[in-house]
Amino acid sequence: MLYITETKKAFDTAVKDLEEAVKRNKYGVLHVHDVQKTLKEKGIDFPNRVRILEVCNPQRASRVLTAHMPVNLALPCRISVFEEGGKVKIGMIKPTFLLSIFPQRGELKAEAEGVEQDTIRIIEEAR
């Protein structure tokens, strides 16, 4: 269900390297959520750094949405860099797991597996 790995890199380096790995693998970063900063702006002093990158491959997204529009509820893919227990981790919810909640998932299984392979490779390159 989850794919999480630890990195020895500093937090900011891991985020930068993740963004570069996304681009190398023909995905784009649509948005970066700085959760710690957002919570601070809301008056909450959250101690751990968290950046969530929304990533997408336009060709894959188009194929999936053409086949089954409700899958848009699970898009774009999200990859997080976060601090936990004094360590920096990079992780995501596996696309194949997300797809499992949708009807008609059989016809999209190969696409979800491809996205999962891509995003795991992206995480490993950034690690």
pLDDT 10s digit of each residue in the chain, 127 long? 999 999 999 999 999 999 999 999 999 999 999 999 999 999 999 999 999 999 999 999 999 999 889 999 999 999 999 999 999 999 999 999 998 888 766 778 899 999 999 999 999 999 9
Residues listed for the chain:
127
pLDDT of residue 102: 84
Buried b (16+ CB within 10 A) or exposed e, 2-16: ebeeebebebeebbe
Hey, where are the domains in the chain?
2-126
pLDDT of residue 103: 77
Which residues on adjacent β-strands are paired with residue 3?
92
Query: What separation in angstroms does the CA of 102 have from each of 11, 79, 99?
Result: 34, 21, 6
pLDDT of residue 86: 95
pLDDT of residue 105: 65
In contact, 99 and 119? CB cutoff 8 Å:
no
How is domain 2-126 classified at the CATH fold level? TATA-Binding Protein (3.30.310)
pLDDT of residue 21: 98
Tokens, residue 115: 């996205």
pLDDT of residue 96: 93
